Amino acid sequence: MTGQAQILPGNLDLLILKAASLGPLHGYGILLRIEQISRGALLIEQGALYPALFRLVRQGLLKPSWGTSDNNRRAKFYELTSSGRKRLRQETKDWNRLVTAIASALGTQPEEV
Amino acid sequence: MKVVAFLRSLASGLLHRSQIEAEMDEELRAHIANRADDLQRSGLPRAEAERRARIEFGGQERYKEECREERGGAWLESLWTDVRFGLRMLVKSRGFSALAVLTLALGIGANAAIFSMVNALLLHPYHFRDLDALVRVWEDRGIDEGYDARYVAPADATELSTHNEIFENVTTYDMRSFSLGAGSEIQPVLGCRVTANFFDLLSVSPAAGRLFSPGEEQPGADQVAIVSHGFWEGRFAGDPRLLGGKISLNGRSYSIVGIMPKDFDYPVPVELWVPLVLTPEEKADRAQLSLQVLGRLKEGVTLDQARATLAGFSRRLEQDYPKTNTGRTMKALQLRKELYVFTLPLFLLLQAAAGFVLLLACGNLANLVFARMIGRQREIALRSALGAGRGRLGQLFLSETLLYSMAAGVVAITASFASVRALRASIPAGWTKWVPGWDGIRVDGNVLAVTILVALGTGLVLGLATVVHATHVELNNTLKETGPGSVTPAKRRVRSALVVAQVMFAFVLLVCAGLTIQGFARLARVYQGFEPASALRVEISLPEKAYPDTVRITNFYQQLLRGTASLPGVQHASLITNPPASNVDSETTFFNIGGQPALKAGEAPSADLQIATPDFFATLKISLVSGRLLSEADSANAARVVVISRGMAERFWPGADPVGHRIKLGTVDSAEPWVTIAGVVGDVRQNWWNPMTRPVIYKPFAQSAQRSMTLLLRTATNPTSYVSGIREVTGRIDPGIALRGVATLQEEVSDSIAIVRIMGILMGIFGLVALVLLSVGVYGVLSESVAQRTREIGIRLALGAETDALMKLILGHALKLTAIGLGIALPVSFAISRAMASLIFGIVSMDVTILAGFTALLFLVALGAGYLPARRAMRIDPMVALRYE
């Protein structure tokens, strides 16, 4: 599995929120969605997804509900709440700012100093 | 919003626990099934696809546990689980639990009992409003000895009470003995003369009637009295008509205007209070320190400020009245502390000792718990493998140790009801009535709160120690092992360190206990210089009206002495003003030495003044040092003589014999005649707090007769059998005279040091408990270490090791730990005992033999505690040992 990056602990929450913002998903679906939107570049421990989901539910960012998956299994679907949406916007902004800052820092050439 | 979500999930977490568990299971199962579907689609067989899906998912139980932690309310739920688990463990290993709970209960109980004393005696001795603002003020001449000498000259007291920048109010008072009643029914009562604001200052109100008004401080208007509850009930059977009625005191008629509540007994348990009225001469007196002063500080004035102001005030008095006030300084002390100047360090010592006992108990319990943790290593490893984090394990251990400590707290509180009662009853009531707050020694809210806090703290500390100690588990190795858990060297070191600490605590505690007990034992023998056995004492007080002059007083006492001396079995009969062990300081007097330059009032030395009949020295078997004793020849008309104590002779006539020298009592300009020193007698300790060599002057009774005297009899047999004889003799001379304070001198001596003795006993108990706890601790660690080293010992034995060498190995371990502990504790104890010697002056003194003795004792205890494990090691069968694991 070369080319896959281990994600940092805090970022899993952000990715879950993003995945859920594209429509209600069950746990396995979120996992697939993250793989899909990151084009398989991110490695996620499957089991670690669930404590994160429970955490986001407790924080009121996700809303769980039971439904039936496309292969006819009962599954718990997670849907983004309005405060989850707000949080996602905020975190995305913060993330972009951080990435820009670090990229510009790393892109600095010797003559620019 | 967040809070609502949290609460909702908390509530649902608590309410639908099983449902949530089931849903979590289902969710994870669905995930794995979905994954397996995908894998199957990619071409794997179903079974292999499911296996791969499970592996990819990771430890299900671990993630479930993490989910539970993420969900709100998990901690509450798991706490409940842990408490139930703890309770199950507690019940399952009954022996261990009983030992743990009892050990802790011992430590906590000791603290509860001592704190109940500290709480009542030091924190709540009186129930006056804003007790901390009440201060006793006195003039210190710098040369007075004894700690009861806290008096102020009347004129200085008057000036002090106008000093209202620091005091809200100032009251003065003095103690007086009154003759109550008239005719044939005169009884002595102890009373207190007080200024009219006395009760207001203390902010107490009468149970019935009223307090004094300022006008009643004037001569003529002062024939009013307030009586104590005890007086009302004891002498008038609680008759309500007493209020407004009249009683006769010293032949004058007083109206009773008030009755005080039951618990009011300031300054000491007296029977009545009357207004303090001084003659103009008395009021102007600056020379004699005769009144006691109590002030209430203004709000916001600190004790230090008051002390500074008083120092300035005395400097001004010194300038204005150099003749009388030179060298005098006004001092102030909180009322609360006054009574405990001496005993405060003792109480603190006791509380500290109780704390040490608790520390030792904790050490033992920690050892027990740690030892059990070794057995539970696999359980802990399993829990960690299943996803219990350090916090989760910590909660488990905390709930277990807290359960133990709370159970111990309950046992301790239950036991302390009995132990506190025993403590209170251990000292005769006749003596403890003089100790303010003694009746308040009980398990009250404060004591309960402190006990519960101590128990909680103990459980927390133990639990945290266990967490730190036990949660580092090497998962793989522990789970793979098949034998009982093993101990890493680091953990063994921790347990050895615990033993070292226990040796330290025990040693310091033992040394403190040893020093105090030695001091108390010395105190018990403190009344040397006289023979208390077979001596009876009876206080007699003649009413002023029937005995207005010296002739009648002398007559009465002469007949009394003749009558009692002729009772069969009485060897000696004599009179003295203040017998030893009376718990009252003797009257003091200044004196000047003939042939030496006269000293100013402030510099004149002082001595105790006693008035005695010739036989006094024979009655108490006080030795003659030089010269002669008082004799019948020293009559009223003969030359004035005195006998002095050896301590006085050695201090003021060092290296010389004072017999034949002359002294003058009082200040240099007093009207007292010069008197000749006829003899020197051995030193007698007046009270246990007085120094032995305190100067004493004995005046012959015939030359200075006094109404209140104590009759002393030396008898051949049981002294109490003579009481009726004395009563008969007294009745024949004057049926109106009451006998008071009838007791054997031996009783007085042991009663007077009762509180000191009980403290010695408590310290002794603490010391013993410390020894027991220590030996259990050493034994526990050594047996554990032998058990751990069974294999090693087996190999050694198989290779031909001598059993002696093995014995040495194990005992050497015990001795090494003890030696390290002692190495740290010796300098500490040395410093502590030095501090104690200076704090508890006169009782405790440095003693190297105690240090040496306890060092030897602790080594013996270590050897004894190590012997059993060592024997067990010697008996190990190499074959069994090698097969052991």
Q: Which residue would you say has higher pLDDT here, B602 or B347?
A: B347
| Over residues B739-767, mean pLDDT | 80
Residue B815: burial class (beta carbons within 10 Å; 0-12, 13-18, 19+): middle
Nearest Cα to B187, choosing from B223, B244, B221, B236? B236
> How many Å apart are CA B363 and CA B365, to the nearest integer?
5
Please indicate if any CB of chain A lies within 8 Å of the CB of B54: no
- Kindly determine whether residue A28 and residue B5, on different chains, have CB atoms separated by under 8 Å: no
pLDDT at A24: 86
Q: Which residue would you say has higher pLDDT here, B17 or B315?
A: B315
- Kindly determine whether residue A75 and residue B30, on different chains, have CB atoms separated by under 8 Å: yes
In a domain, A113, yes or no: no
Q: Does residue B518 carry a pLDDT above 70?
A: yes
Q: Which two tokens stand for residue B440?
A: 């308040």
pLDDT at B8: 65
- Kindly determine whether residue A28 and residue B60, on different chains, have CB atoms separated by under 8 Å: no
What ipTM was reported for this prediction? Answer: 0.83
Nearest Cα to B530, choosing from B620, B630, B629? B620
Show me where the domains of chain B are located.
Answer: 2-72, 74-125+342-485, 131-338, 487-526+763-885, 535-752
Dihedral of CA B152/B158/B162/B164: which sign?
positive
Close Cβ partners of A27 (under 8 Å, ≥ 6 residues apart):
A49, A50, A53, A75, A76, A78, B27, B30, B31
Please indicate if any CB of chain A lies within 8 Å of the CB of B27: yes
pLDDT at B748: 81
Asked whether the bond before B269 is cis by omega within 30 degrees of 0, the reply is no
* Residue from A28, A36, A77 whose CB has the most chain B CBs within 10 Å, to mutate: A28
Residues of A in contact with B71 (CB under 8 A): 54, 58
pLDDT at B146: 47
Q: Does residue B289 carry a pLDDT above 50?
A: yes
Q: Does residue B581 carry a pLDDT above 70?
A: yes
Dihedral of CA B193/B194/B196/B199: which sign?
negative
> How many Å apart are CA B439 and CA B116, to the nearest integer?
11
Residues of A in contact with B34 (CB under 8 A): 26, 28, 69, 71, 73, 75
* DSSP output for B512-530: HHHHHHHHHHHHHT-S-SS
- Mean pLDDT for all residues in chain B: 82
> How many Å apart are CA B726 and CA B709, to the nearest integer?
15
Minimal CA separation from A97 to chain B, in Å: 26
For A9-69, the three-class secondary structure string (H helix, E strand, C coil) is HHHHHHHHHHHHHCCCEEHHHHHHHHHHHCCCCEECCCCCHHHHHHHHHHCCCEEEEEEEC
B238: amino acid identity, one letter: G
pLDDT at B625: 92
> How many Å apart are CA B786 and CA B782, to the nearest integer?
6
Dihedral of CA A88/A91/A97/A103: which sign?
negative
**Using 50, 70 and 90 to split pLDDT, how confident is the model at B484?**
very low
pLDDT in tens, B861-871: 888 888 888 88
Say if CB B491 and CB B469 are below 8 A apart. yes
pLDDT at A2: 45
Say if CB B639 and CB B674 are below 8 A apart. no
In a domain, A104, yes or no: yes
pLDDT at B341: 66
Q: Does residue B226 carry a pLDDT above 90?
A: yes
Q: Does residue B885 carry a pLDDT above 60?
A: no
Chain B neighbours among A 42-71 (CB < 8 Å)? 45-48, 50-52, 54-55, 57-60, 66, 69, 71
Say if CB B193 and CB B274 are below 8 A apart. yes
pLDDT at B564: 93
Q: Assign residue B297 a region: left if phi > 0, alpha if psi is -120 to 50, beta otherwise?
A: beta
B30: nearest CA in chain A?
A75
What is the distance between the terminal CA atoms of chain B, rounded to a whole angstrom?
59
Query: Nearest by CB to A45, which of B35, B58, B70?
Result: B58
Query: Nearest by CB to B63, which of A28, A50, A83?
Result: A50
- Kindly determine whether residue A28 and residue B30, on different chains, have CB atoms separated by under 8 Å: yes
B27-31, B293-297, B799-803, B849-853: segment of lowest average pLDDT: B799-803
Place of tokens 């008309």: B637
Q: Does residue B773 carry a pLDDT above 50?
A: yes
pLDDT in tens, B134-162: 999 888 876 554 445 688 888 888 888 87
Residues of B in contact with A63 (CB under 8 A): none
Residues, chain B, total?
885
Residue B883: burial class (beta carbons within 10 Å; 0-12, 13-18, 19+): exposed
Query: Nearest by CB to B57, which of A26, A46, A52?
Result: A46
A82-86, B184-188, B270-274, B682-686: segment of lowest average pLDDT: B184-188
Nearest Cα to B433, choosing from B583, B268, B578, B579? B268
User: Total structural domains in chain A?
Assistant: 1
Q: Which two tokens stand for residue B273?
A: 């209070």
**Using 50, 70 and 90 to split pLDDT, how confident is the model at B782?**
confident
- Kindly determine whether residue A47 and residue B60, on different chains, have CB atoms separated by under 8 Å: yes
Please indicate if any CB of chain A lies within 8 Å of the CB of B26: yes
Say if CB B715 and CB B571 are below 8 A apart. yes
| Over residues B410-427, mean pLDDT | 85
In 10 A of CB B91, how many CB atoms? 9
* DSSP output for B208-238: EE----GGGGSTTS--EEEE-HHHHHHHHTT
- Strand partners of residue A68: A74
For B274-308, the three-class secondary structure string (H helix, E strand, C coil) is EECCCCHHHHHCCCCCCEEEEEEECCCCCHHHHHH
> How many Å apart are CA B489 and CA B346, to the nearest integer?
43
Query: Nearest by CB to B30, which of A31, A47, A73?
Result: A73
Residues of B in contact with A36 (CB under 8 A): none
pLDDT at B747: 82
Q: Between A and B, how many CB-CB pairs are < 8 A?
A: 78
Residue B351: burial class (beta carbons within 10 Å; 0-12, 13-18, 19+): middle
Say if CB B885 and CB B789 are below 8 A apart. no
Backbone angles phi, psi at B590, to 5 degrees: -75, 160
Local confidence pLDDT in tens for the 113 residues of chain A: 445 666 666 688 888 888 888 888 888 888 888 888 888 777 778 888 888 888 888 888 888 888 887 777 788 889 889 888 998 998 889 888 988 988 888 888 877 77
* Residue from A13, A31, A44, A46 whose CB has the most chain B CBs within 10 Å, to mutate: A46
Place of tokens 């706490």: B79
Q: Does residue B661 carry a pLDDT above 70?
A: yes
* B320-323 own/partner pairs: CB under 8 Å, 24+ apart: B321/B286, B323/B600, B323/B601
Nearest Cα to B99, choosing from B325, B471, B371? B371
Say if CB B291 and CB B139 are below 8 A apart. no
SS3 of B574, please? strand
Q: Does residue B488 carry a pLDDT above 70?
A: no
Residue B826's alpha-carbon distances to B143, B268, B381, B512, B853, in angstroms, are: 38, 43, 41, 12, 12
Nearest Cα to A13, choosing from A54, A65, A41, A64? A54
pLDDT in tens, B12-56: 655 566 777 888 888 888 888 888 888 888 888 888 888 888 888
Please indicate if any CB of chain B lies within 8 Å of the CB of A40: no
**Using 50, 70 and 90 to split pLDDT, how confident is the model at B353?**
confident
Say if CB B101 and CB B364 are below 8 A apart. no
pLDDT in tens, B49-77: 888 888 888 888 888 878 777 776 666 66
pLDDT at B273: 93
pLDDT at B884: 53
Please indicate if any CB of chain A lies within 8 Å of the CB of B55: no
Please indicate if any CB of chain A lies within 8 Å of the CB of B14: no
- Kindly determine whether residue B63 and residue A57, on different chains, have CB atoms separated by under 8 Å: no
Cα torsion for A91, A97, A103, A108, to the nearest 10°?
Answer: -160
- Kindly determine whether residue A73 and residue B33, on different chains, have CB atoms separated by under 8 Å: yes
Q: Does residue B615 carry a pLDDT above 90?
A: yes
* Residue from A31, A32, A50 whose CB has the most chain B CBs within 10 Å, to mutate: A50
Please indicate if any CB of chain A lies within 8 Å of the CB of B60: yes
pLDDT in tens, B676-702: 999 999 998 887 777 778 899 999 999
Please indicate if any CB of chain B lies within 8 Å of the CB of A1: no
| Over residues B422-429, mean pLDDT | 77
Residues of B in contact with A55 (CB under 8 A): 70
The CATH number of the domain where A56 resides is what?
A: 1.10.10.10
Dihedral of CA B247/B250/B252/B257: which sign?
negative
pLDDT in tens, B555-573: 999 999 999 999 988 999 9
Residues of B in contact with A46 (CB under 8 A): 31, 35, 56-58
| Over residues B384-404, mean pLDDT | 79
Q: What is the DSSP letter of B133?
A: G
Residue A102: domain span: 5-108
A84: nearest CA in chain B?
B2
Residue A17: burial class (beta carbons within 10 Å; 0-12, 13-18, 19+): buried
Q: Does residue B850 carry a pLDDT above 70?
A: yes
| Over residues B318-325, mean pLDDT | 85
- Kindly determine whether residue A58 and residue B37, on different chains, have CB atoms separated by under 8 Å: no
- Edge to edge, the sheet with strand A62-68 lists A25-26, A74-80, A62-68
| Over residues B93-97, mean pLDDT | 77
* DSSP output for B663-676: EEESSTTSSPPEEE
Residues of B in contact with A71 (CB under 8 A): 34, 37
Residue B544's alpha-carbon distances to B181, B415, B737, in angstroms, are: 12, 54, 12
> How many Å apart are CA B669 and CA B676, to the nearest integer?
18
Residues of A in contact with B58 (CB under 8 A): 45-48
Strands B134-140 and B292-297: antiparallel
**Using 50, 70 and 90 to split pLDDT, how confident is the model at B591?**
confident
Which secondary-structure segment (H or E) carries B767?
Answer: helix B754-788
Residues of A in contact with B33 (CB under 8 A): 73
- Kindly determine whether residue A51 and residue B69, on different chains, have CB atoms separated by under 8 Å: yes
